[in-house]
Structure 1
Amino acid sequence: MPELMSTVVDPDTFTIDQPTLTAADGLTLRPWTAADAPTVYEAFQDPAIRHWHVRTAESVEQVHEWILRWRAAWSTGNGQWAVDSDGEVAGRIGLRRSDLTEGVTELAYWTLPARRGRSIAPRAANMLTRWAFHDIGFDRIELTHSVHNPSSCRVAAKCGFPFEGTLRGAGRHSDGRHDMHLHARLRTD
């Protein structure tokens, strides 16, 4: 059946190599490499990261597999980047659940414990949001987090993602299902 409207984001955008994005403040978003696996493994030993995610890293070899999947997900519009600050990995940021036809994606991130409190997540989120709107052409970017995660709520507010509502029981965490706050920005904001 023919579509009445054209696809918002051109899928061919994701046939080129995943870009590295650099900000004037020294923050860099770059594709993950195999050399990053030990850092990701250590990140997933952190109780906070483990609590807010449905997985844990049991070995560096397992993380190597994650990195291969993260890199492959780029072709579907679901890019994952290492967040580098001062030449070291400070966290992860990515797009997930991308619907190229509708022009909607979701932002997801975490910051290494030693780098928290330095505005790494908001700076990376702002950089990726600008790129996703202006270079790629997404119309809407969503951000969800557990209602019990005030740090993520602060990141959303700092990045201009207005609160839109609560999604009941929408997120799984280590201690069961959580209600999730939904924040979103539009390209026209």
Structure 2
Amino acid sequence: MEINAGAYYLRQLRADRHLDDRTALMEAFADPAHRRYVLNYRLRTLDEATEYVALRAAQWACDERCSWAVAEPTTGRLLGEVGLRELDLTFNTAEASVWTHPGERGQGIAATALAAALRYGFGGLGLQEISYRHEESNAASAALAARCGFTLVGPERDPSPSGEPLIRWLHKSS
């Protein structure tokens, strides 16, 4: 499922002879700011990046997670990733996630991509509620959540894997 997000388009992560996101993935996951907030994955080699691309495709296939590469429309260059994880089509809920390649931050890419993913979640999947969580110190994520129409719920009971408090936001279908 590809989505036209205006200045960008959302597509499946790729690692094939036509388009290969693996190098850009490794660059993003090597960035200290990215590593600070994305703790679940380390992509240090092409093999690890290949596994990551395959994982995202498998998660989509089993309705566990919708994940898109945020791409520059003329070249297909990877600018980031946006997704709806913890997808529950029985209760019509999901949790949003987004990151931007370090060389592309500060341009509104995350907000544009997240807004498009929210539209797909509510309109295409029929979700009723999408949450968004971030570490308390991540001011950029707080600003992004507010910009994309999420309502602040407050701190989570359990901290993030790094031990820092998590803040939860909620967005409901209208």
TM value normalised by structure 2: 0.91
Give the total of aligned pairs.
166
Q: Give distance in 1, aligned partners of 2:116 and 2:67.
A: 13
Q: 8 Å contact 2:24–2:101 — kept in the other structure?
A: no
Question: Secondary structure of the residue that 1:169 maps to in structure 2?
Answer: coil
Q: Give distance in 1, aligned partners of 2:159 and 2:38.
A: 13
- Does 1:44 pair with 2:29? yes
- How far residue 167 of structure 1 moved from its aligned partner, in angstroms, is 0.4
CA shift digits 1:62-119 (9 cap, x unpaired): 1100110100000224011100124321101111111111100000011011111100
Q: 8 Å contact 1:82–1:93 — kept in the other structure?
A: yes
- How far residue 170 of structure 1 moved from its aligned partner, in angstroms, is 3.1
| Match of residue 12 from structure 2 | 31
- How far residue 26 of structure 1 moved from its aligned partner, in angstroms, is 2.4
Q: Give distance in 1, aligned partners of 2:107 and 2:44.
A: 28
- How far residue 159 of structure 1 moved from its aligned partner, in angstroms, is 0.2
Question: Secondary structure of the residue that 1:170 maps to in structure 2?
Answer: coil
Q: Give distance in 2, aligned partners of 1:36 and 1:85.
A: 12
Question: Secondary structure of the residue that 1:157 maps to in structure 2?
Answer: helix
- How far residue 57 of structure 1 moved from its aligned partner, in angstroms, is 1.4
**Structure 2: runs of 5+ lacking an equivalent:** none
Q: 8 Å contact 1:168–1:178 — kept in the other structure?
A: no
- How far residue 178 of structure 1 moved from its aligned partner, in angstroms, is 1.6
Q: 8 Å contact 1:30–1:84 — kept in the other structure?
A: yes
Higher relative contact order (CA 8 A, sep 6+): 1
Q: 8 Å contact 1:169–1:178 — kept in the other structure?
A: no
- How far residue 169 of structure 1 moved from its aligned partner, in angstroms, is 3.2
- How far residue 37 of structure 1 moved from its aligned partner, in angstroms, is 1.0
| Match of residue 65 from structure 1 | 51
| Match of residue 134 from structure 2 | 145
TM value normalised by structure 1: 0.84
Q: 8 Å contact 1:77–1:100 — kept in the other structure?
A: no
| Match of residue 118 from structure 2 | 129
CA shift digits 1:38-67 (9 cap, x unpaired): 110111110011111113212121110011
Matches for 1:104-123 after TM superposition, within 5 Å? 104-123=93-112
- Does 1:22 pair with 2:4? yes
Q: Give distance in 2, aligned partners of 1:165 and 1:139.
A: 20
| Match of residue 179 from structure 1 | 165
Q: Give distance in 1, aligned partners of 2:3 and 2:159.
A: 31
Instruction: Point out the structure with max Rg over C-alpha.
Output: 1
Q: Aligned letter for 1:185?
A: H
CA shift digits 1:16-42 (9 cap, x unpaired): xxx00012x321000011111111011
Q: Give distance in 2, aligned partners of 1:100 and 1:28.
A: 24
Question: Secondary structure of the residue that 2:157 maps to in structure 1?
Answer: strand
Output the aligned Cα RMSD.
1.1
